[in-house]
Amino acid sequence: MSSITLDAIAKSFGKVKAVHELNLEIKKGEFFTFLGPSGCGKTTTLRMIAGFYYPTKGSIKFGEKDVTRVVPEKRNTGMVFQNYALFPHMTVFENVAFGLKVRKQSSSEIKRRVEDALKKVRLDQYMMRQVSQLSGGQQQRVALARALVIEPDILLLDEPLSNLDARLRDEMRTEILRLQRDYGITTIYVTHDQVEALSMSDRIAVFNAGVCQQIGTPKEIYNNPANDFVASFIGETNLIPVTPAAADAGTIRLNWNEDSGKSLVLHNYHQGKWSELSSQPLSVSIRPEALEVLEQPAGENTFEGKVEMAQFTGAALQLFIRIGSRLVQAMVLNNLTLRELEEGDIVYVRFPEQHMRLLPRVMGEEEHEE
C-alpha cells in the first residue's frame, strides 16, 4: 500500500494533448475515482501510473519513490483491464497464479494464496475451469483476484464494470468495495458513470478534455461543484447563465442573460468568494430537487412558469417548466401535498437561496443540455 503523487504530469500523442498538467495526491488506502466523459484522458492517466505510457512532462511518485521512468513490471501495481485481459490459454487457477509464478513463489505458497484469493472473490469452486467457460461477472472476479493476489501497492481499475449488465454491475460494485476495504489497498477507479463514482469513492477527480476540473469528496463535488461542467456532469442540474447587475454589502443581483427583466438576488454572499468570481462569465446552478414548485407567487426569486411536461416516476414527479425562454427541470416528491399537475398548468417556481450555486461558466452554450 502506498500513496501516489502526480506532479504536473502531461501526455501528448503527436498533436493531441490527452492530459494537460495534472497535479494529484492520492492518500494511502484511499478509494479514488477518475470521472469524466469519453476521451477526457482517464485511461491515459491510469496507464501512466501503471507504466504503459511515459508522461511527456512531470513526475509520478509512489510514496517517496519516483517511478516516472520505471518499467511496468517493476511497479507492483495490480491492474484490472476493461476487457479483463484474462489469458485464454490458462485455467482460472493459472491466471491467478501467473503473478506469483513470476515472483518465484514456491508452489505450495502459490496454491495457498491463489485458493485464498479465489475464496475471497467466491470462485474457489471454479479453480480448474478454462476462463472461456466463465460468465462475464465471473471473469471480472478472476481479473480482480489476479490483480489482488500479488498484493500490489496500488490497485488500478479501468471501467471494470462497463461490460456487465445493470444487475451484475450493482453486485460487483459492492464486491469491489468489500475487497478494497479487506485489503485496505490504495485504489484508482476509472469510470464515466457518475452514480458509480458518487457511491463508491472516498474522493473523485472530475476530468474534462484532458484537464482536471475538480477534486473532492462525492459530497463536495455534488454540493459545491467547481464550475458548470462539474455541476452538469454530476447529477441533474439547471444552469442559468447570468450577468451581475449590482453587488453591494453582500447582496448580489444577477440578471438572466436570455430573459431581460428576470433576475436572481443573493443576500448573504461571501465577500471574498465574490471578488474571485466577479470577473468571469457566470452561471447559476440549482438542482431539480431544490426548486420549489408553488401554486401562488411567493416573493423574491420566484418566477411564473408553464408546465410543459410532467412525468410520474413513482417516488417523485418530474416537471419541465417553461420560464421565459428557459426550460427548467424540477422534481417534486410524491408526498400528496401538491395538487395533480398537468401539462399546460401555470405554476410558480421558487429558487431558494441556500441551494443556488454561483459558478464560473466554462462550457460553451452549445454544450448545455436542452
**Size, binding site for Mg ion by CB under 5 A:** 1
Tell me the residue number closest to Mg ion, measured at CB.
Answer: 43
Binding of other proteins by 72 (CB under 8 A): yes
Query: Amino acid letter at 9?
Result: I
Contact 191, 37 (CB under 8 A): no
Q: How far is the CB of 210 from Mg ion (least distance, A)?
A: 13
Q: How far is the CB of 210 from ligand ATP (least distance, A)?
A: 7
* Largest separation between any pair of C-alpha atoms in the chain: 78
Q: How far is the CB of 48 from ligand ATP (least distance, A)?
A: 10
Query: Amino acid letter at 293?
Result: V
Binding of ligand ATP by 55 (CB under 6 A): no
Q: How far is the CB of 72 from other proteins (least distance, A)?
A: 4
Among 2, 43, 77, 232, binds ligand ATP (CB under 6 A): 43
Residues 124-183 close enough to bind other proteins by CB under 8 A: 146-147, 150
Classify burial at 197, counting beta carbons within 10 Å of its beta carbon; exposed 0-12, middle 13-18, buried 19 or more. buried
Binding region for ligand ATP (CB under 6 A) out of 37-45, 269-277, 314-322, 344-352:
37-45
Among 39, 136, 235, 244, binds ligand ATP (CB under 6 A): 39
CA nearest 130: which of 114, 142, 144?
A: 142
Binding of other proteins by 83 (CB under 8 A): yes
Binding of ligand ATP by 44 (CB under 6 A): yes
> Residue 297 contacts by C-beta under 8 Å, 6 or more apart in sequence?
304, 348
Residue 187, φ and ψ in degrees, nearest 5: -130, 135
Three-class SS of residue 62?
A: strand
Tell me the residue number closest to ligand ATP, measured at CB.
Answer: 43
Closer residue to Mg ion (CB): 47 or 146: 47
Binding of ligand ATP by 16 (CB under 6 A): yes
Q: How far is the CB of 243 from ligand ATP (least distance, A)?
A: 33
Binding string, 197-236, against ligand ATP, x = CB under 6 A? ----------------------------------------
CA distance 240 to 248: 22
Among 8, 13, 102, 304, binds ligand ATP (CB under 6 A): 13
Q: How far is the CB of 16 from ligand ATP (least distance, A)?
A: 5
CA distance 242 to 263: 8
Residue 275, φ and ψ in degrees, nearest 5: -65, -30
Which neighbouring-strand residues pair with 323?
326
CA nearest 158: which of 72, 77, 76?
A: 77
Binding string, 42-81, against Mg ion, x = CB under 5 A? -x--------------------------------------
User: Which grid cell sits at 189?
Assistant: 477507479
> Residue 173 contacts by C-beta under 8 Å, 6 or more apart in sequence?
161, 196, 199, 200
Binding of Mg ion by 227 (CB under 5 A): no
Q: Which DSSP string do the residues of 181-218 spell out, in sequence order?
A: HHHT-EEEEEES-HHHHHHH-SEEEEEETTEEEEEE-H
Sheet holding 16-26, edge to edge: 16-26, 4-13, 57-62, 65-66
Residues 50-69 close enough to bind other proteins by CB under 8 A: 50-52, 54, 69
User: Which grid cell sits at 125?
Assistant: 469452486
**Chain contacts with ligand ATP (rule: CB under 6 A):** 13, 16, 18, 36, 38-44, 192
**Chain contacts with Mg ion (rule: CB under 5 A):** 43
**Chain contacts with other proteins (rule: CB under 8 A):** 50-52, 54, 69, 71-79, 81-83, 85-89, 98-99, 102-103, 146-147, 150
